[in-house]
Structure 1
Amino acid sequence: MTGWELKVRPRDWQNVALERWRPNRRGVVQVVTGGGKTVFAQLCLLEFFKDETLGQALIIVPTVSLLDQWCIALQDEMNVRPDQIGLLSGQEKPKGDEPIIVAVINTARKFTATFAKGRRIFLIVDECHRAGSPSNAKALDGDFAATLGLSATPEREYDEGFTELIAPKIGPIIYHYTYRDAAAEGIITPFSLINIHVDLLSDEEERYSKLSRSIARCIRKGGVAEGQEERLKRLLQQRAAVSANATMRIPVAIKLVEQHRGDRAVIFHERIDAANTIVNILKARGHRATVYHAEIGPIVRRDNLRLFRRGLFDVLVCCRALDEGINVPEASVAIIASSTASQRQRIQRLGRILRRAKGKTEASVYTIFATEEERKRLAQEATSLEGTTTIEWQQGKMQAHA
C-alpha cells in the first residue's frame, strides 16, 4: 500500500472515534451527513493495513452512486491507484485480488461469505441502516478481521433491523456526532432553510382529495384488517405520487435556479423523467447543467459528478435513488423539488449541501411542498432545529411564473 496517505488533517471527533474503534476494531459510528464519515473510514483503513499488509477491505454500499463516490474518494483523498480498487455491481466485476473492493449491497449478498473465507477482511458497511433487512443482511455474512458501520441514522424507522441484524454482525454504536456538534464546531456550513408552498393544479387537487377520502374510509373500516392493509398502502402510495409529481414543482425549481444563477446548485426530484425535463429547460436557458441518475452508464455518471465538482457545470439534477452517495461540498444551494416522507432521506439531502468547501460561507436549502402533510413534517423539523438555523416560509405562486 505504498503511497497511501490521508490528504486532509483528521478532525478532533475522528481521532476520538478512532480511539474507540481501535481496541476491538468493531462498531458503528453515527455521524451526521457532511460530518466526515468517509474520511473517518479511510483513517480506519490505514490503521488496518498497518498490521494487515496481506489483508483486504470490502466496502459495502447501498447504491451505484455511492460506489462511484467511494471510487473517487479513495483515489482523490487517500492516493489509492485505480488498479487497487475492485468494483462489484450489476455493471462491473472485480478481479478479486485488489486490496480494496467496493460492492453494491444487493450484488454482495451472494459474494461476501465466499469472498471472506480464508482471507483477512476488513468489512466496512456504509449507510449501514440499509443492511437491516433479512435479504441485505446476507451481505454481512462471514468471519472478519475488522468491521465498521457508518450512518447518519443507523437505527431503522420501522423495524428492529439494526438491533437484530446489523449490530450482531458489525457491532454496537460506539460514537455519535450530531448536527448540533457539527454546527458548534464549524464542521458544517451555516445554513438557512426556505420552505416554499406551491398549489396543486385543479385536477391534481381533485385526485389528491379523492385519494384522501378513500384513505379515510379504508382506515375507518380497519386499515390493518385482512385484505385492507395492502389496499391502504397502495392508496397512500398513489396519493404521495400525486404530490411528488405536482406540475408546479418544476417551474418553481427553475425559478430558484434563475435567482441563484452562477451559484453551484443541486436539485433533487423523485422521478427521472422530471429530472431530465428540468435539466433540459435549464440548458435551454443558458445554464451549465447536467443530470445524474441510474439510467446513465457508470463512466458518464462519474464524469458528470467530477465535472460538477470541478466547476464545469453549475447545476446538478439528480433523483431520490442517489440521496446516499452524492458528495458535492462545492454546492451552496439545494433545491428539494420533490421528496418522500422519510426523515432519513431528509437528513441525507441536507447533508449533501452542508459540507464545507473553500470559499463557501453559507448554504441555502429550498424545499418545495404542496400538501398539508408535507407542511406538518417541515414544521416538526423546524422545531427540532430551533437555535441551529434560520427557517423561512414562502408562498410559491409568484415563482410559478418562471
Structure 2
Amino acid sequence: METLEVLNKLEPIYFANEHNLDEEVFGPICQTSDHIRCMTGYFSSGSLRELAQSLSHFLKTQSTSIKFIISPNLSQEDAEALRNANSSDKNLIPLLFPGFEPTEDNLRTRSVESLAYLVATRRIEFKIAIQKDGLFHTKCWLFDTEHGRLSVHGSINATQNGFSVNTEQLSIDKEWDGEKSRKVISAISKKFNTLWANVSQHVTTFDINDHTLNHLCEIYRNKSREGLSQREIQQRLESCLIQKGEKRLLRRLKIPDWLNYQTGPYSHQGQAVSSWVGSGRGILSIATGGGKTLTSLVAATLATHQEESLLVVIAVPTKALLDQWAKDVAHFSIEPFSSFGKTGRDTKRALKGMLRNLRLGISKNEVLIVTHAALKSDLADDIDKASSRVPIMLIGDEVHNLGSSGFKEAARESFKYRLGLSATAVRQFDEDGTAFLTDYFGPVVYDFPLDAAIGNCLVPYEYHVHRVVLDENEEEAWSELTHQIRQLAYAAELPDTAKEKERWKLLCLQRRRIVESASGKIAALAQSLPKDREDIKRSLVFCTDKDPEQLLAVNALLTRRSINFHQVTAEETASKQLLVNIVDSFSDGSLQILTSKRVLDEGFNIPQTETAYLLASNTVRRQWIQRLGRVLRSSPATNKDHAIIHDYIVIPKVNDGEIDNDLASLIKGEYERVSFFSKLSSNGLEKNGSLSIISELISLMENNK
C-alpha cells in the first residue's frame, strides 16, 4: 500500500487507552517522515517506551534530530540522565554506552538509558519552556512527511501514562486535506519555530546545557522536602538561570540564514543597505517586488550593532500591510507588535512594555508596526518621550504617502535612524511634498528601477492593450460635457477659488469618469479572459474607484462564468481573518481571481499572481509601477516564468478643434501609460497591438498643436 494511502486512512481522532498509538498512528507517520518536532507540557522517558516501534524506525532511517520543547516537569531520574548525557564528551560515548543502539527493544526496556544515549548523540534535542504567567501546557507533534506536513495534537503529554493509561484524545491534521488543516498545521509550525528561536513574547525557552540541568536537578532534589508545586519549580528555575546569566535576549534582530542579500539576483539589497548604513538616513527607491521589506530589516539589524538597544517603528499606509510586515519581521527572530485590530490604548500599552524590556536588558530590539495615521495621533507623543531614553528607528513603507500635508505638520524629530521605502519616491505633481520627504528622511541613496529588476529578480511580462469604444449613451454624454467644457475654457486660467473654475474642474472630472467606467470595458474583459474557466488562475482585476458599478459588473461577469473569485475592498481588509483567508485561498489556487479598486495597489505580496487586468488606471506613474509589482514577483513555488498584463483604453471620437486642454492632458496621460508598459514588456510594440494605439494617440496630440 502506498504511504499516502496509509496516511489518508488515519482516523481524525483517537483515544489513547482504546488504541495502540505506537502501531496505529505514530508508526505509519514515522515511516514516511524526515523531521519530527514536539511541544509538550510533560515529558518522560516512558514516552520512548510507548513509541518504541515508531521512534526506532525513524532513528534508524533518518539522520535528523527529534526536537522537543518541554516544561521543566521531569522526573529526577530523567533530569539526572539528561545532565549526565549532556555533559558527556562525544569521544566517550562508546565507553559510556558500549554497543548501545536505539532499537525497539532498548527503547522499550531501557528507556532512561535510551534517553541519555539519544541526548548524548544529539539524536534528540530539548529546550525548556517557561511561561511568564501560567504553565506551558501544549501537546502538539509536527511531522514533515514526503507528502507534506502532518500534525498530531490533543490532550496527550509525551509520557507513559499519557499514551497508554489516561483517557486522552488526539486529533490528526494533514495539510493536503484542505484549508482548515493547513491553517492548523501552519499555526502549530509557527508557534514551534517562534519558541525554538526564543522570540515569543510570552514564553522563554532555555537551552538544555550544564547550567540548566544542574539547577533543575538541584531543585528536584528539594522538591519533595519543600513540597514545591510545578509553578514554583518553574519560578525557581527561571530565577536561577537569570542569576547565572543563562537567559538570552528575548528579542534581537537577526538576519536569517537563508537570506542572501549580497550576491545573486538580490545583490541590489546589499548595495542598498551599504548606501544607507553610513548615515542612518535616506530613501531606498527599489522596484516593487525587489525586496524592499527585507532590505530595510537588514538595515535595521545592522543599525542595531551600533546601539545598546534599538526600538524599531515601522509605519505602513494601510491596515492590510500590518500583518504582512509582521510575518517578515518574524523571519528576523523577532515577534513584533502589530496594531492590526488593536485599539490605541492597546498599542500604547505595548509600547510601554517594549520600553521596559529594552530598559531592563530583556531585549535588545523591539519592533512596533503601525499605520501612517498613527504617526499623526497621540501615539507620536509617547514615541517622542521615549526617544530621550532609547534610540528609535523609523521605517516608512510606501514613504511617498508621508509627503502629505497631514504628516508634514505632525512629523517629529524622535527618530535617530530614518529609512524611507518606495518604488517611486518622487511625488508626482507635488514638488513641496517631495522636498519634505528628502529633507525629513534624507535623499534617495539607492535606486533600483523596474528595468533593472525585470529579468533579474522580477519575471518578464507580456503587455496586451485593448481598444474600447463608448456606447451610444456614453458618446452622447461625452459630447455634451465636451461642449460645456469648451464654453468654460477661459475658466482654466482663473484662480482655484473662482466658481467658474470649480465648475470647469467638475465637468472635466465627469468626462474622465466616462472613460474610466466605460461599459465596453466589461465586454472587452470578457473577451480577454481565457475561454476555458480552468485556464483562469491567479489573476487580479483592477476597477475604477470613481464608479462602484464597474466592480459590481465585473463580479457579475465572473459569477456568470462560474469563476471562483473574491473582491478585496476596504470591507475585506478591515477583517484580519477574512483577509488572511482570501490571500491564502488565492495563493493556493482555490480562488482564481481577486477583484479590487485601489486596495491592492500598495504592498500586497502575492507572488503567485500571474495576470492583471487593468480596467482603470490614473495618470500617476507610481500606480503603474505598483500594479506591475503585483504580478512580476518571482514565485519558485509555482514555477512562474512570466506574467501577463491586459490594459483597456478608450479613445473617444474627436472632431477637429475639440481637443481642449484637459482632453489633451487625458490623451497625453493615456499615451504615456501605454508607452510605459510597452517599453518594458517582452512582446514590445507588436503590430496591431500597442503600436497602433500609440500611433493613434500621437496623431491626436500632434493635431492639437
Query: Scaled by the length of structure 2, what TM-score is found?
Result: 0.52
CA distance in 2, matches of 1:242, 1:89: 38
CA distance in 1, matches of 2:610, 2:394: 33
CA contact (8 A) 2:609 2:631 kept: yes
Which of 409, 431, 444 is the matching residue for 1:160? Answer: 431
Which residue of 2 is the match for residue 122 of structure 1? 393
Which has the larger displacement, 187-196 or 338-347?
Answer: 338-347
* CA shift for structure 1 position 338: 1.5
Which residue of 2 is the match for residue 313 of structure 1? 591
Q: Match for 1:117: what amino acid? A: K
Which residue of 1 is the match for residue 473 of structure 2? 203
Q: Match for 1:338: what amino acid? A: A
Quickly say closer, same or farther: Cα 1:20–1:109, change in 2 above 3 A. Answer: same
Q: Match for 1:311: what amino acid? A: G
CA contact (8 A) 1:89 1:104 kept: no
CA distance in 1, matches of 2:413, 2:404: 17
CA distance in 2, matches of 1:214, 1:89: 48
CA contact (8 A) 2:399 2:425 kept: yes
Which residue of 2 is the match for residue 352 of structure 1? 630
Q: Which whole-Å deviations, capped at 9, do the CAs of 1:28-70 have from their partners, x for residues lacking one?
A: 0111222221221121232234444642211122222333432
Q: Which secondary structure does the structure 2 equivalent of 1:242 belong to?
A: helix
User: Unmatched 5+ residue regions in structure 2?
Assistant: 1-250, 355-365, 653-662, 694-705
Quickly say closer, same or farther: Cα 1:102–1:3, change in 2 above 3 A. Answer: closer
- 1:143 paired to 2:414: yes
CA contact (8 A) 1:88 1:101 kept: no
Q: Larger Cα Rg: Structure 1 or Structure 2?
A: 2
CA distance in 2, matches of 1:344, 1:3: 31
Q: Which secondary structure does the structure 1 equivalent of 2:285 belong to?
A: strand
* CA shift for structure 1 position 379: 3.2
CA distance in 2, matches of 1:321, 1:113: 29
Which residue of 2 is the match for residue 292 of structure 1? 568
Q: Match for 1:345: what amino acid? A: Q
CA distance in 2, matches of 1:337, 1:237: 17
* CA shift for structure 1 position 131: 1.1
CA distance in 2, matches of 1:202, 1:169: 52
Which residue of 1 is the match for residue 260 of structure 2? 9
Q: Which secondary structure does the structure 2 equivalent of 1:192 belong to?
A: strand
In the TM superposition, 1:221-232 aligns within 5 A as: 221-225=491-495, 226-232=498-504
In the TM superposition, 1:2-401 aligns within 5 A as: 4-6=254-256, 7-10=258-261, 11-52=266-307, 54-75=309-330, 77-78=331-332, 80-81=334-335, 84-87=336-339, 94=347, 95-96=350-351, 97=353, 99-110=366-377, 111-119=379-387, 120-138=391-409, 140-183=411-454, 186-225=456-495, 226-259=498-531, 261-271=535-545, 272-296=548-572, 297-299=574-576, 300-358=578-636, 359-371=639-651, 376-384=668-676, 388-389=680-681, 390-392=684-686, 393=689
CA distance in 1, matches of 2:340, 2:381: 14
Q: Which secondary structure does the structure 1 equivalent of 2:584 belong to?
A: helix
* CA shift for structure 1 position 256: 2.5
CA contact (8 A) 1:264 1:315 kept: yes
CA contact (8 A) 2:284 2:447 kept: yes
Higher relative contact order (CA 8 A, sep 6+): 1
* CA shift for structure 1 position 381: 4.0
User: Unmatched 5+ residue regions in structure 1?
Assistant: 397-402
Size of the alignment, in residue pairs? 392
* CA shift for structure 1 position 269: 0.7
Quickly say closer, same or farther: Cα 1:72–1:378, change in 2 above 3 A. Answer: farther
CA distance in 2, matches of 1:186, 1:321: 27
Quickly say closer, same or farther: Cα 1:273–1:384, change in 2 above 3 A. Answer: closer
CA distance in 1, matches of 2:549, 2:309: 46
Q: Match for 1:369: what amino acid? A: I
Which has the larger displacement, 47-56 or 148-157?
Answer: 47-56
Q: Match for 1:368: what amino acid? A: Y
CA distance in 1, matches of 2:451, 2:674: 14
* CA shift for structure 1 position 275: 2.8
* CA shift for structure 1 position 212: 2.4
CA distance in 2, matches of 1:22, 1:3: 16
CA distance in 1, matches of 2:284, 2:296: 9
CA contact (8 A) 2:276 2:445 kept: yes
Q: Match for 1:319: what amino acid? A: K
* CA shift for structure 1 position 330: 0.8
Q: Which whole-Å deviations, capped at 9, do the CAs of 1:211-241 have from their partners, x for residues lacking one?
A: 2232233223444343333223222221222
Q: Which secondary structure does the structure 2 equivalent of 1:320 belong to?
A: coil
Which residue of 1 is the match for residue 111 of structure 2? none
The answer to which structure has the higher helix fraction is: 2
Which has the larger displacement, 41-50 or 30-39?
Answer: 41-50
Which residue of 2 is the match for residue 399 of structure 1? none
Query: Scaled by the length of structure 1, what TM-score is found?
Result: 0.87
Which has the larger displacement, 11-20 or 102-111?
Answer: 102-111
Q: Which secondary structure does the structure 2 equivalent of 1:369 belong to?
A: strand
Q: Match for 1:171: what amino acid? A: G
Quickly say closer, same or farther: Cα 1:175–1:73, change in 2 above 3 A. Answer: same
Quickly say closer, same or farther: Cα 1:198–1:90, change in 2 above 3 A. Answer: farther
Quickly say closer, same or farther: Cα 1:218–1:71, change in 2 above 3 A. Answer: farther
Quickly say closer, same or farther: Cα 1:270–1:138, change in 2 above 3 A. Answer: same
CA distance in 1, matches of 2:324, 2:667: 32
CA distance in 2, matches of 1:167, 1:47: 22
CA contact (8 A) 2:624 2:673 kept: no
CA contact (8 A) 1:134 1:165 kept: no
CA distance in 2, matches of 1:243, 1:148: 39
Q: Which whole-Å deviations, capped at 9, do the CAs of 1:86-115 have from their partners, x for residues lacking one?
A: 216897752324522222223321233432
Which has the larger displacement, 200-209 or 22-31?
Answer: 200-209
CA contact (8 A) 1:112 1:142 kept: no
CA distance in 1, matches of 2:481, 2:444: 41
CA distance in 2, matches of 1:68, 1:279: 27
Quickly say closer, same or farther: Cα 1:38–1:361, change in 2 above 3 A. Answer: same
Q: Match for 1:8: what amino acid? A: L
CA distance in 1, matches of 2:285, 2:383: 27
